[in-house]
Amino acid sequence: MSRATKNRRTPRAGARSGLLERRTSGVLLHLTSLPGPHGSGDLGAAAHRFADFLAASGQSWWQMLPVGPVGCGNSPYQALSAFAGEPLLISLERLADHGLLEAKDLEPSRDLRRGRVDYVATRRFRAARLRKAFAAFEARRRPSERQRLEAFLAENESWLPDFALFSALRGAHPPGSWTAWPEELRARAPAAMARARARFAGEIRYQQFLQLEFHRQWSELRAHCRERGVGLIGDVPIFVAHDSADVWARPGLFTVGPSGTLSSMAGVPPDYFSATGQLWGNPLYRWHVLRARGYDWWIARLRAVTRAFDVARIDHFIGFHRAWALAPGATTAERGRWVRGPGVEFFVRARRALGRLPFIAEDLGLVVPEVKALRDRLDLPGMRVLQFAFGDDPEAESYQPHNHPRRCVVYTGTHDNDTTVGWFHDVGSRRRSTRSAEQIERERRFALRYLGSDGREIHWDMIRLALMSVADTAIIPMQDLLGLGSEARMNLPGTAEGNWEWRMRDDAAAGRVGERLARLTETYGRGAEA
């Protein structure tokens, strides 16, 4: 990344507007995957250097996964809140810059791995230092900092008090879901809530401080990206985690019973990723209740996302048309039923409230014509994944670049796919593949014929194919730029362990990778000055 700082750019209207209307490209990399000495990537120096790398490489977009506080399985798609930020992403170095930590606090622990995120060890290391920073914040009692905190609390009063109390209660109870708490806390009885707020006042204050620091560091990174003409693309999981402040605070909006247990849960039927489907375990929405409230909770969620990001990808867009509902005791997702979503009515309300809809529709999987019609009626770009273009996927032809529309976003792969190198060299292992050896070989032959390639640099072949597509926007996962194999896969759908852990090396983005990406970006007219 060393050469990036000399390529500062004037912010482009295309990246800042969120309309994805110009011919641009970008990189998909989650914040936790950044290098650094403290167990996981964060909002500190490495994130700022990565923005410099993107600018120097002619990229207009940095796409990342959801940045909420992760829960079950460390998945960013199972966050403890749809509004809060993940404390792991708070940079300890930035806290030291503000006088809240000392240099000795930044010395890395031997327990922390460089190439993977060990969430248990990393949380333990960072929590001790975050609490020390909070103690320093409280002790120095600067009026400007107090005013900043009070203004932040007032601005976020619709969700922050519930989240801070929820977090304090989670810490005070044995590990597990809030549905195992005493009845008076599950039901949010007023007297019990008042006692809890008084008893855990210090812990609530600490949680508020964490969110304030996350917000400050996020604002600094976003300003840095804007200075370099790099827009941020976020991710909105359509469902929220059962074990979340959102469901605990507003159970009437979700398919949970009086005690908080699920009455039905979300998933997907058998597909490319799993022969038995995927059991997500999230509650579904009571859309009739949300409709009666003017979709206020959802609109507040989208408003928060559009304040933090220039554009956001709406995960599982199909869910606004219909969702796969499963019984709570289901062991596979094969037997479920489709339940209707709110359709265009919700987006009409959202557009009325927000003024515009800067979103990408994740229209992958079992997409029926009605979903495509909803996407097109809203004029939202859909997704085209090149790894799906050469096999037996029913939509394979639409993923082939000669069939791409301009109004779409093309990816070599997503966070749910294997890396391009891993996909190409797949041997059909039972754990990592739903394709037979015959299917894999047939797909590989077709891909090589389509690409006119011998496969020796399959990742660059696919990157070139994405960048030459007529699609307005092309996004390349960082693992593909680095030519990494399956060991760098971010997520294997349908599995609960070993996901979301990959991190890149300190020097991975230096030198030739950025230069080669910049040349291809310019060749295919996607550069910032094109």
Active site (catalytic) residues: 315, 362, 416
Measured distance CA(150)–CA(140) in Å, rounded: 16
Measured distance CA(442)–CA(94) in Å, rounded: 51
DSSP string, 136-150: HHHHH--HHHHHHHH
* Cα dist from 358 to 17, 164, 239, whole Å: 8, 29, 19
Measured distance CA(57)–CA(529) in Å, rounded: 12
Q: Which two tokens stand for residue 297?
A: 């909770």
C-alpha 72: how far from chain center = 15
SS3 of residue 79 by DSSP = strand
SS3 of residue 287 by DSSP = helix
DSSP letter for 42, please. Answer: -
Q: Residues 14, 60: contact at Cβ < 8 Å?
A: yes
SS3 of residue 463 by DSSP = helix
DSSP letter for 285, please. Answer: B
C-alpha 4: how far from chain center = 25
Nearest to 305, CA basis, from 21, 56, 65: 65
- Give just the sign of the alpha carbon dihedral 305, 266, 261, 120: negative
Q: Residues 80, 68: contact at Cβ < 8 Å?
A: yes
Nearest to 328, CA basis, from 496, 179, 162, 495: 179
Q: What angle do CA 271, 283, 83 make, to 5 degrees?
A: 105
Q: Which two tokens stand for residue 437?
A: 């050896």
Q: Residues 447, 400: contact at Cβ < 8 Å?
A: no
Measured distance CA(43)–CA(38) in Å, rounded: 12
9 CB burial (10 A radius; 0-12, 13-18, 19+): middle
Q: Which amino acid, residue 62?
A: W
Helix ranges, 402-525 (H): 420-424, 437-451, 458-468, 478-481, 512-523
